[in-house]
Amino acid sequence: MNTQTSPVNVAVHQSRAAHMRQIYRRYGIVAVLILLCIVLTFANQYFLTWGNIADILRQTSINGILAVGMTYVVLTSGIDLSVGSTLALAGMVSASVITGAHPHGVALGLLSGLVVGALVGAVNGVLVARFAVPSFVATLGMLSVARGLTFIYSGGMPIADLPDNFLSAGTGTLGGVPVPVIVFALVVLVFWFILRYTTYGRYVYAVGGNVKSAKTSGISTGKIIFSVYVIGGVLAGLAGIILAARTTSALPQAGLSYELDAIAAVVIGGTSLSGGSGSLGGTVVGALLIGVINNGLNLLGVSSYYQQVVKGVIIVGAVLLDASRKKT
């Protein structure tokens, strides 16, 4: 018998191939991130400085918070294109309340931003879950509505002169760590725990895996789908508050194309666009990769026009990567 083609050797080869595919799926994106950091370290002397790393983490924290909410939506096989506009609207409303005459303006401003995000998410959720509007169409429409409301509410003007205790949410540090990074870490921890260890988290995966089977099993699929859009809206509101604090003013044009970075982070991180599989750990790595790429292009003096091209290529590549995962 030819031992090279024996059933035992074939089985061993198949087992090794399956193991390598598993390693690729789990750690491939981490290896890419590490390799990119090494390349940028040699390409630019400022990349590995703490000041630059802190800037990367601050920027990543905003996209990362959006991506956490996007992960929940994508896990149910949906998409939310309105998070960038929701971010702008929530930040604008929050800033206007904070600069008002109320003695508890900061607390009310923070709450109002989260409420605005939740309301936008709720509208998306009702359209998708109750009226069966495709998530792409529903959230594309809300992208335009929320952006328009932002300009109407602000009159197209930014809101500045925000108090220092609010600005610390975007520019402050705690123990040397930027506050936005701490907020991002807490968001990831809370929502990772929910996905990993709660019945609700299992229901999210079940709905994305097979909505008909989930419904047959007694899961209220409509409520789950509605809830993930509310979560995405609340986190977009939180990101809008942090961005306004970081830029020291609320801008009506804030958050343009942020939904693209969030979607790219989610898909690059391993969450399938068809729903039912993925993790927040992968999303965090995906968000970091996007942040490092943006920062590296800036350090290397790459024109913003070319940066848009690179981002587009990344998004297309992420979709192709998702398709390749399904085939394997």
Instruction: Report pLDDT digits (tens) over 69-89.
Output: 999 999 999 999 999 999 999
- Greater confidence (257 vs 143) lies with 143
Return the number of other C-beta atoms located less than 10 Å from residue 264's C-beta: 26
- Segment among 28-37, 83-92, 202-211, 234-243 with least mean pLDDT: 28-37
pLDDT of residue 1: 47
Instruction: Please list, in sequence order, all residues whose beta carbon lies within 8 angstroms of the beta carbon of residue 122, skipping any fewer than 6 positions away.
Output: 226, 229, 230, 233
Q: What is the number of other CB atoms lying within 10 angstroms of the CB of residue 52?
A: 17
Q: Which of 22-31, 41-50, 128-137, 302-311 has the lowest mean pLDDT?
A: 22-31
For residues 281 and 29, which has the higher predicted lDDT (pLDDT)? 281
Q: Does 126 have pLDDT greater than 90? A: yes
Query: What's the pLDDT score for residue 327?
Result: 65
Specify the pLDDT at position 12. 63
Q: According to the model, what pLDDT value does residue 25 have?
A: 63
- Token reading at 125: 């959720």
User: In this predicted model, what pLDDT tens digit does every residue of 173-212 receive, in sequence order?
Assistant: 999 899 999 999 999 999 999 999 999 999 999 999 999 9
**Residue 33 CB neighbour total at 10 angstroms:** 18
What pLDDT band is residue 308 in, cutting at 50, 70 and 90? confident
Q: Which residue has the tokens 């108090």?
A: 163
Average pLDDT of every residue of the chain: 91
**Alpha carbon distance, N-terminus to C-terminus of the chain:** 31
Q: What is the pLDDT of residue 319?
A: 73
HEC letters along 128-181: HHHCCCCHHHHHHHHHHHHHHHHHHHHCCCCECCCCHHHHHHHHCEECCEEHHH
Report the range of poorest mean pLDDT among 2-16, 53-67, 106-120, 166-180: 2-16
Asked if the model's pLDDT at residue 51 lies above 50, the reply is yes
CA-nearest of 95, 89, 152, 77 to 120 is 89
Cα separation, 127 vs 124, whole angstroms: 5
Q: Is the pLDDT of residue 4 over 70?
A: no
Q: Is the pLDDT of residue 103 over 70?
A: no
Tokens of 53: 């790393």
Whether pLDDT at 299 is above 60: yes
Q: Where are the alpha helices (DSSP H) in the chain?
A: 7-43, 50-75, 83-98, 105-125, 135-154, 164-171, 179-197, 199-209, 211-216, 221-247, 258-268, 280-299, 304-327
Mean pLDDT of 151-161: 95
Q: How many CB atoms lie within 10 A of CB 254?
A: 24
pLDDT score of 3 more than 60: no
pLDDT tier, 213 (very low <50, low <70, confident <90, very high otherwise): very high
Residue 315 is predicted with a pLDDT of: 76
Q: Do residues 252 and 88 lie in contact, with contact meaning Cβ atoms separated by under 8 Å? A: yes
**Is 277 exposed, middle or buried (CB count within 10 Å of its CB: 0-12, 13-18, 19+)?**
middle
Q: Which two tokens stand for residue 139?
A: 């959230």
